[in-house]
């Protein structure tokens, strides 16, 4: 059995040592020493400031919207945020959960990221924010998005769940927007089992979010505003510290897997057009086939051989069973979603397994 991904399991001994230290301190959560240490080490590793660890990537999005006053509205009308239909459900559902209506803007057919020109067309008097996704870790057109946001006084929250460690023009991609959110779910490149983070542009927003994730408590006897519980605990941070120690070798191993695919996938399959000024973190291996029928044939053939590929992201969120209530149709996103498969990528994938996969893909595509 070859899964589409495997959670990265770091040195068990190192994790045990961290857990021993947790037992000694008997400090399990509420900004413990390991959470503080992981915060500092992530800020240094990623090249960012104002990083706040939270309990998962979905709450990272929700707390970011709240911290930036996207969710709260004094106006009678429902606030709106413009986002991409080609993403994991949490990008749009987190908006809806916070009472913000997602409005889709279609993606670029080559980069599969939100198309800045289509953002502009989706703006209404109720628009409050843009929520783009660096999909599969591919940097969005951040400068064009900045210009649109500035022209229309909109906030930007990047869902950077896939973009751990991605650098754009020699600085962290996470430094763009008013905030960027990360998911540290077990299946992500860097993980804390469950977990996430928000990187804020401004210190004030970070300070506010620090209180929001702890029920809005501002002091021993005071609750400043409506908050929630979104704190990361010490066991999550211990896993994160161990995974971070091994991140370089993990990414290197994955880059070799990527290289195999680059060399051996048939030329007729479409690959994501990468932002030339950003690096890749090799988090995913998406491939677009010539038709939905061909993608499904590949999925089936791989599955017969014990290989799991995933239709990721399918369906496009404008055609999902869970209605986002936009009534929109996004032709580019639907087209890509219908033909895409994510192929297996993880550090422990062996050359023989990789050859099996690419041989099977070639066989189906040639037939
Ligand atoms: C994984 C993911 C999330 C949700 O993160 P969780 O940590 O699982 O809550 C949100 N957006 C995108 C694009 C994701 O891939």
CATH number of the CATH domain containing 80: 3.40.640.10
**Residue 364 C-alpha to ligand 1 middle, in angstroms?**
32
What total number of domains does the chain contain?
Answer: 2
- Residue 362 near residue 287, CB atoms below 8 Å: no
Look at residue 57 in the predicted model and tell me its pLDDT: 98
- Work out which ligand 1 atom sits closest to the CA atom of 133: 13
The pLDDT tens digits for 188-235 are: 999 999 999 999 999 999 999 999 999 999 999 999 999 999 999 999
Same domain flag for 315 and 235: no
Q: Which domain holds residue 294?
A: 246-366
For residue 203, indicate whether it is catalytic: no
Q: Which residues pair with 104 in a beta bridge?
A: 83
Tell me how far the alpha carbon of residue 189 is from its chain's centroid: 10
C-alpha pair distances (Å), 14 with each of 19, 47, 189, 246: 9, 25, 19, 11
Does the CB atom of residue 137 touch ligand 1 within 6 A?
no
In a mutational test of the pocket of ligand 1, which residue from 4, 88, 236 has the highest number of ligand atoms less than 8 Å from its CB?
88
Dihedral angle of Cα 274, 48, 115, 320, to the nearest 10 degrees? 100
Q: How far is the CA of 205 from the centre of ligand 1 (A)?
A: 21
pTM above 0.85, yes or no: yes
Closest CA to 230 of 40, 27, 97, 62: 62
Same-domain status, 214 and 336: no
pLDDT of residue 74: 64
Give the CA dihedral 90, 60, 348, 6, nearest 10 degrees.
Answer: -40
Give me ligand 1 centre to Cα 20, in Å.
Answer: 30
In a shared domain, residues 21 and 96: yes
Confirm or reject: Cβ of 192 under 6 Å from ligand 1: no
pLDDT of residue 73: 64
- Whether residue 234 is found in the same domain as residue 303: no
Residues in the chain predicted with pLDDT less than 70, given as ranges, are: 73-75
* Closest CA to ligand 1's atom 1: 183
């Amino acid at each position: 059995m070859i899964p589409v991904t495997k959670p990265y399991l770091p040195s068990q001994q190192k994790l045990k040592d961290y857990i021993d230290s947790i037992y000694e301190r008997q400090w399990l959560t509420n900004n413990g020493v390991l959470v503080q240490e992981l915060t500092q080490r992530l800020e240094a590793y990623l090249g960012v400031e104002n990083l706040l660890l939270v309990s998962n990537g979905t709450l990272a999005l929700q707390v970011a919207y709240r911290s930036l006053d996207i969710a709260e509205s004094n106006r009678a009308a429902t606030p709106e945020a413009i986002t991409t239909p080609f993403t994991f459900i949490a990008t749009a559902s987190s908006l809806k959960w916070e009472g913000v209506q997602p409005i889709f803007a279609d993606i670029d057919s080559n980069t599969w990221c939100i198309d800045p020109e289509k953002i502009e067309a989706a703006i209404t008097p109720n628009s409050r924010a843009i929520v783009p996704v660096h999909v599969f870790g591919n940097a969005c057109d951040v400068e064009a998005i900045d210009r649109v946001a500035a022209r229309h006084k909109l906030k930007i929250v990047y869902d950077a769940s896939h973009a751990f460690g991605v650098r754009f023009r020699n600085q962290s991609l996470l430094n763009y927007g008013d905030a960027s959110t990360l998911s540290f779910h077990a299946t992500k490149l860097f993980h804390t089992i469950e977990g996430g983070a928000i990187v804020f542009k401004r210190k004030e927003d970070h300070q506010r979010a620090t209180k929001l994730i702890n029920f809005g408590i501002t002091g021993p006897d005071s609750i400043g505003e409506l908050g929630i519980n979104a704190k990361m605990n010490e066991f999550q941070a211990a896993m994160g510290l161990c995974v971070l120690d091994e991140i370089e070798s993990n990414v290197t191993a994955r880059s070799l897997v990527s290289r195999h695919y680059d060399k051996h996938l048939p030329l007729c399959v479409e690959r994501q057009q990468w932002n030339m000024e950003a690096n890749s973190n090799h988090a995913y291996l998406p491939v677009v086939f010539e038709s939905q029928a061909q993608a499904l044939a590949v999925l089936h053939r791989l599955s017969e051989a014990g290989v799991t590929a995933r239709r990721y992201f399918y369906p496009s969120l404008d055609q999902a069973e869970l209605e986002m209530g936009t009534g929109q149709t996004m032709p580019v996103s639907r087209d890509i979603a219908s033909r895409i498969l994510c192929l297996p990528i993880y550090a422990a994938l062996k050359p023989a397994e990789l050859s099996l996969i690419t041989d099977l893909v070639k066989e189906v595509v040639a037939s």
